[in-house]
Amino acid sequence: MKGQSRARNKKRNRLQIWLRRIALSVLGLIIGISIYLINAGTFMRDPLPMPFGIGAANVLSDSMEPVFSRGTLLIVKKEENLKEGDIVVYQSGKNLIVHRIVRLDGNQVVTQGDANNVPDEPFDRKMIKGVAVGKVPYAGTVVGILKTPPGIILLLAAAFFLTEHSLQQERMQDEQELEEIRKEIQRLKQERKNQGD
């Protein structure tokens, strides 16, 4: 019975260790990406870094309703072959705009938000960062928060708490197992003593 209990505890401990490792890996990845995005925006002056031709953009306005709502995270892919109807992310000054292409004229592009009444001013196609190929509703709000220093501090605090809590539970379980082993040794000693009498 006690052997089964110990086996269950070991199995549970191993599961907790793996869950902690996975959670810490995910948190580390999120923190790394957040720091990379902050540095890219601050030092490289690139509001949408696209390593491997893929990036993520946050929808900050309602101009693309009902297709994209404010706070949606867009997956953006570099694309050379643009066509009318593509939803693109382009850089206008320091800002990123998410609008649909309504006209292509050589190197000149005209876009318009689906919820807007008038098209944007024409601009050069090299200002286009990429085409929206996917979306994650509400994730843009979370990413926006995580890109701020308080967001990174919150993530670090969560990682610390997760690690500390998990280690505390592990220590308690180890102490419990040691106590059970001590009791078993004590019982065996007593049993042996009783047999000797």
> Which entry of 46, 62, 120, 166 is annotated as an active-site residue?
120
In contact, 71 and 58? CB cutoff 8 Å = yes
114 classed as catalytic: no
Dist CA 158 CA 152 (whole Å): 10
| Amino acid symbol at 38 | I
> Which entry of 25, 63, 114, 124 is annotated as an active-site residue?
63
165 classed as catalytic: no
In contact, 67 and 87? CB cutoff 8 Å = yes
62 classed as catalytic: no
Catalytic residues: 63, 99, 120
